[in-house]
Structure formats: structure tokens, C-alpha cells
Amino acid sequence: MESLHNSRLRSWLSSSPPVIWGVRQLRELLIGALRQGPIPQHVAFVMDGNRRFARDHHIETVEGHNLGFEALARILEVCYKTGVKVVTIYAFSIENFKRSKHEVDALMAMAKLKLNQLSEHGALLDRYGASIRILGQRELVRPDVLEAVDKAVALTAKNKKAILNVCFPYTSRDEITTAVQKTVDAYSTPIESGRISSKRPFSETHITHHIRKQMLQTVPEDAAETLAASRSASPSSSKELNSSAGGQSSATSTAITSEKGENPSGAPSYLDPETITTETLTNNMLTAGMPPLDLLVRTSGVQRLSDFMLWQCHEKTSIVFLECLWPEFDLWQFLPVLVEWQWQQKKLREQEKTSRSMQIASKRNT
């Protein structure tokens, strides 16, 4: 009886207006305080633990997802008020389609409902200045849900202050594969070289002629010899010489040959595959143009990436695994993570500073 009385008293107290007002003020204060330190530009969340939370509290799985959505709303408020630019959430994996049809349908219905509600409040969304983007395989989504998605995306597209990435049938391997595909596509479509070169006042044969001349003058003897040898071997074919000169220059600066792999014959010309870099692939990822991922948080104690942001978090991202379940996740769990991140960031900066000063000192000594 005693404990029941206590819990009732506590619930009465915790739902009394002054307490709620006080807590809200405290939250605002803490958020404002957090803003004084460095803030991660890009944060990703794996929202894990909705189902286990439902099981632990003896409620329906769908209700667990609903509570998870509330946790998301709370945490988004914290993120955007502290000044995080991009938040990426793992809402639905392609693998999740393997779950029970009942659960998948309920999740889809929830997504549709929430997105439709969101679309009704366009003016309010502008205050947060966040634009919604959907990352993932659109073809797998039901058309009616897709419609709600597109509406919400279109409505917020003009907002520039912050971005909310919703990974909605997404897996990272799928993302990487698509990026590779896009790159291959871009590099294997012929470029209309004739049109491009005719616009400019320079002739490419003229330039290669100059390069060849320069190389004969400046390049060490053995290189000049090989060039001469190749000429003597096939004195008539200027085409081959052309390409060999091009190959030489591409070693030093790819810019000359790569932009337009000029081919005198009628064969289609392509971009040079050697100019593909990690940036090319990064720009073909779904998160192209966004700041690098600074922080990745996964709840519910599972220490795995589970096919999420593999490409993005491979190097400097701080990955944090938390024991709490996602519906329980709130400012009180997120605050220590952010403060620790700020602390580490401060230490990293100090380390860099000392190493730089040491480098300078060593340079002075030598």
C-alpha cells in the first residue's frame, strides 16, 4: 500500500503544472548551455529497442514503435535547438520487410499518418528550418505512403537551416552499390567531345604538339630516347605518338587527358576511369554534399552497425553504443554523450596543437 501511495503521489507531483514548467525551463537551459561548446554537424541514430521496450512493458509492438516516434520527436528538438545541421535516422531497413506483415503494415501506416500530419503544419516546420529527405529504395515503398513522403519532402525542400535524413528502406550496402552503379553510368556514357572542343579557342592537337616539344627539350635523356624509339618504330602513325604523349602527361597532371579523352577516330570517347576517386563515390552516396558524420548513436546495447552508414562512419566518426532502449532515449541520455563528445573534441584539438607545435620546433632545429 505504501509504495502504491508513493507512486501515486509522485505521478501527481510529476504531472503538476509547476513541475512540468520547471522541467521544461531546465531543458531549455541545458540545451542553450550545450550550444556554447562545439556541436557535431552531422549526427546519426539507429533507433533500436522499440520492440524490446514493448515486450518489457507488456504493450503491443506497434505501441512500442509509437513511443519510439515520440522519442525521436524529443531528440530532434534537442538536436536542432543545439545547432546540429544534419540528423540521419535509420527508420526502416530493407531487411525489415522480412518482419511480420502486421508489423510492417503498422509501421507504414504510422509513417504515412505522421508525414501527413507534418505536411499540415508547413509554417511551423519553417521555424525549425529543417528539410526532410528520404534516403533509400523508393521502389519498395507502397504508393500511398510514397505520396505522403513526397508531399512532406516537397513542402520542406526550401528550408536550408537543417536537414533530416530519413533512411526509409535503406541498407548501406545497397547505397554503396548504387553509388558504384551511378559512377559507372556517368563514366560509361560517351561525351560529345566535338561540341565541347569547338567552343573553345584552343586546338588539342596544337597543345599536344607543344607538350611533345617541351618534353623533348626538358625530359631526361632516357625518356626522350624511348620517345624517339617509339617514333622510329612507327614513324607514320601520329596517333600512337599522340596517345603516348598523353599518357606521359596524365602521370603528372590528369587534367589534360581526363576531361576529354580525345580520340581522332570515330570511336566514342569516355571520361578517364583513373580520375575516379573516393570523392567521386562519396558524391554519389545518398548523403552527398552533407557534412561528414561526426557522431553515430545506437541504443539498446547492440554493438553493431547493422548495414547503416558504413561508408560514412568508416574513419573519424565517434560511434557510441548506449544500453537504454530507444523509447527511453531523451535529453538525459543524450546530454552525457554530447558532453563527452565535446570533451573528446577539446582533447583532440589540444593534441593537434601540441603535435603541430612540436613539428614546428623540430623544423626549427633542423
Among positions 47-86, residues that touch other proteins (CB under 8 A) are: 66, 70, 73-74, 77, 80-81
**Calpha distance 28→19 (Å, rounded):** 14
Closest approach, Cβ 134 to other proteins, in A, equals 20
Distance CA 356, CA 359 (A): 5
- Total residues contacting other proteins by CB under 8 A comes to 86
User: Which residue in the set 166, 313, 322, 325 belongs to the binding site for other proteins (CB under 8 A)?
Assistant: 313
Within residues 235-264, the interface with other proteins by CB under 8 A covers none
Which residue, 103 or 126, is less far from other proteins as judged by CB? 126
To other proteins, the closest distance from the beta carbon of 333 in angstroms equals 10
Distant-in-sequence, close-in-space partners of 326: CB < 8 Å, separation ≥ 6:
47, 48, 49, 50, 53, 68, 71, 299, 300
Q: Which of residues 262-301 bind other proteins (CB under 8 A)?
A: 270, 273-274, 276-278, 280-281
Q: What burial letters (b/e) apply to 269-283, b meaning 16+ CB within 10 Å?
A: bbbbeeebeeeebbe
- Quick count: other Cβ atoms within 10 Å of Cβ 251? 8
Residues 8 to 27 in contact with other proteins, rule: CB under 8 A? 10-11, 13-15, 17, 19-21, 23-24, 26-27
Instruction: State the minimum distance, in angstroms, from the CB of residue 328 to other proteins.
Output: 7
Q: How far apart are CA 133 and CA 287, in angstroms?
A: 10
C-alpha cell at 230: 617509339
Q: From the list 103, 283, 330, 345, which residue makes contact with other proteins (rule: CB under 8 A)?
A: 330
Selected from 137, 142, 307, 324, the binder of other proteins by CB under 8 A is: 307
Q: How far is residue 258 CA from its own chain's centroid?
A: 28
Q: Which is nearer to other proteins, 238 or 345 (CB)?
A: 345
Backbone dihedral angles phi then psi of residue 325, each to the nearest 5 degrees: -85, 155
Contact 311, 172 (CB under 8 A): yes
What residues numbered 128-167 form the site for other proteins, per CB under 8 A? 128-129, 161
Nearest to 132 by CA among 73, 94, 86, 171: 86
* Least distance from other proteins to the Cβ atom of residue 226, Å: 25
C-alpha separations of 269 from 70, 143, 264 in Å: 54, 40, 10
The nearer residue to other proteins, 102 or 121, going by C-beta atoms, is 121
- The yes or no reply on residue 359 touching other proteins (CB under 8 A) is no
Closest distance between other proteins and the C-beta of residue 232, in Å?
A: 31
Q: Which of positions 173-192 make contact with other proteins (CB under 8 A)?
A: 173-174, 176-177, 180-181, 183-185, 187-188
